[in-house]
């Protein structure tokens, strides 16, 4: 009896989620309504049904999210009958008088960290399950499945715990927390293949649709809700696009595409010569170590 690799990845992810349930008092599952965290929710159903999830879903809303993803998020939480907690970057900015980045390509993405750390403190979360994958980015490729963060949420790549076999050590001191990544070993294509195999529903923006966009530095950015203000040299266009990742509007670019079914999306991803984050994430391209530096600061 030999399991297909998708079954192997699924089984590993379920095992990791159950380790969280077994080892922590107050975990949470970070859920944004994007494909990776939707996959996590699906895996949690497999890990814990017919029981309830041993954790709530937590979304840190930058206020610049796609409405389609937010609606999907709320509907899914309601359909499965699990608790959804939402915390708003907007509130953190107001309460802490944070300075919002301004100017061209300004994004609130970095401010998410403050809201996340506040939520961890508010609910005393000791573990946060996230949908990060090691294939996304070279600093992510270095991260353990159980990633211990200090009381400031900071990741220290030089002090990572050895992680052997399938034994996970989630012991921490009070105030510390662990970020847990059950789909560490999945690639973008694995996630899509799994979504197809399991018939998992996704927000509509993952599939080709007509949208008004502005062209900036060769990237197609959504204008949704006026989050991005057009500048004089930005060109406004209407194109048929889909989103390969669904993050903050201000730093997520769309791809021109005719792919309006799962099969078509998978075909496109198999044929592409550009990586997921390379194509769509403006925030990773700011410097050679952008992701590493954000993680050291507490980013998930």
Residues forming contacts to other proteins in the complex (CB under 8 A) are 1-5, 7-8, 10-12, 14-15, 18-19, 21-22, 45-52, 54, 134-135, 137-142, 157-158, 160-167, 169, 171-173, 184-185, 187, 272-275, 278-279, 288-289, 292-293
In the complex with other proteins, the residue whose CB is nearer, 235 or 287, is: 287
Distances (CA, A) of 261 to 36, 173, 180, 206: 18, 47, 31, 9
| Sheet containing 27-30: order of strands | 84-88, 57-61, 27-30, 127-129, 177-180, 146-149
Cα(167)–Cα(164) distance, integer angstroms: 6
Distances (CA, A) of 283 to 246, 288, 291: 13, 11, 8
Distances (CA, A) of 28 to 56, 79, 180, 261, 271: 5, 18, 10, 32, 36
* Closest distance to other proteins from the beta carbon of 167 (Å): 5
Instruction: Cis check for the bond before 50: say yes or no (omega within 30 of 0).
Output: yes
* Closest distance to other proteins from the beta carbon of 213 (Å): 20
* Closest distance to other proteins from the beta carbon of 40 (Å): 14
* Closest distance to other proteins from the beta carbon of 157 (Å): 5
* Closest distance to other proteins from the beta carbon of 176 (Å): 8
Spatial CB neighbours of 73, under 8 Å, sequence gap ≥ 6: 31, 32, 33, 59, 84
Spatial CB neighbours of 145, under 8 Å, sequence gap ≥ 6: 16, 163, 168, 180, 181, 182, 184
In the complex with other proteins, the residue whose CB is nearer, 47 or 69, is: 47
* Closest distance to other proteins from the beta carbon of 194 (Å): 13
In the complex with other proteins, the residue whose CB is nearer, 66 or 155, is: 155
In the complex with other proteins, the residue whose CB is nearer, 191 or 224, is: 191
**199 Rama class: left (phi>0) / alpha (psi -120 to 50) / beta:** left
Cα(98)–Cα(89) distance, integer angstroms: 10
Helix (H, G, I), strand (E, B) or coil at 218: coil
In the complex with other proteins, the residue whose CB is nearer, 68 or 292, is: 292
In the complex with other proteins, the residue whose CB is nearer, 142 or 209, is: 142
* Closest distance to other proteins from the beta carbon of 128 (Å): 18
**What are the helix (H) ranges across 178-251?**
188-198
In the complex with other proteins, the residue whose CB is nearer, 87 or 281, is: 281
Cα(121)–Cα(106) distance, integer angstroms: 27
In the complex with other proteins, the residue whose CB is nearer, 33 or 182, is: 182
193 and 12 Cβ atoms separated by less than 8 Å: no
* Closest distance to other proteins from the beta carbon of 142 (Å): 5
């Amino acid at each position: 009896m030999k399991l297909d690799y998708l079954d192997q990845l699924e089984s590993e992810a379920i095992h990791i989620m159950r380790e969280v349930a077994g080892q922590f008092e107050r975990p949470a599952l970070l859920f944004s309504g994007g494909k990776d965290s939707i996959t996590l929710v699906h895996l949690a159903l497999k890990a814990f049904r017919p029981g309830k999830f041993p954790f709530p879903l937590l979304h840190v809303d930058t206020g610049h999210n796609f409405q389609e993803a937010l609606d999907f998020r709320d509907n899914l939480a309601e359909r499965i009958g699990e608790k959804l907690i939402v915390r708003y970057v907007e509130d953190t900015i107001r309460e802490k008088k944070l300075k919002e980045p301004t100017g061209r390509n300004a994004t609130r993405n970095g401010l998410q960290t403050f809201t996340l750390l506040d939520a961890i403190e508010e609910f005393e979360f000791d573990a946060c399950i996230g949908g990060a994958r090691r294939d996304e980015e070279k600093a992510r490729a270095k991260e353990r499945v159980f990633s211990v963060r200090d009381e400031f949420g900071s990741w220290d790549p030089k002090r990572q715990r050895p992680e052997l076999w399938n034994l996970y050590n989630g012991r921490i001191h009070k105030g510390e927390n662990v970020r847990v990544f059950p789909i560490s070993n999945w690639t973008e294509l694995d996630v899509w293949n799994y979504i197809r195999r399991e018939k998992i529903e996704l927000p509509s923006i993952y599939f080709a649709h007509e949208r008004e966009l502005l062209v900036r530095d060769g990237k197609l950015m959504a204008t949704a809700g006026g989050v991005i203000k057009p500048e004089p040299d930005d060109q406004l266009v209407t194109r048929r696009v889909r989103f390969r990742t669904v993050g903050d509007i201000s730093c997520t670019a769309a791809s021109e595409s005719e792919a309006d079914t799962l099969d078509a999306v998978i075909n496109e991803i198999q044929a592409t010569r550009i990586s997921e984050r390379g194509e769509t994430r403006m925030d990773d391209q700011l410097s050679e170590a952008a992701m590493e530096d954000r993680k050291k600061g507490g980013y998930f």
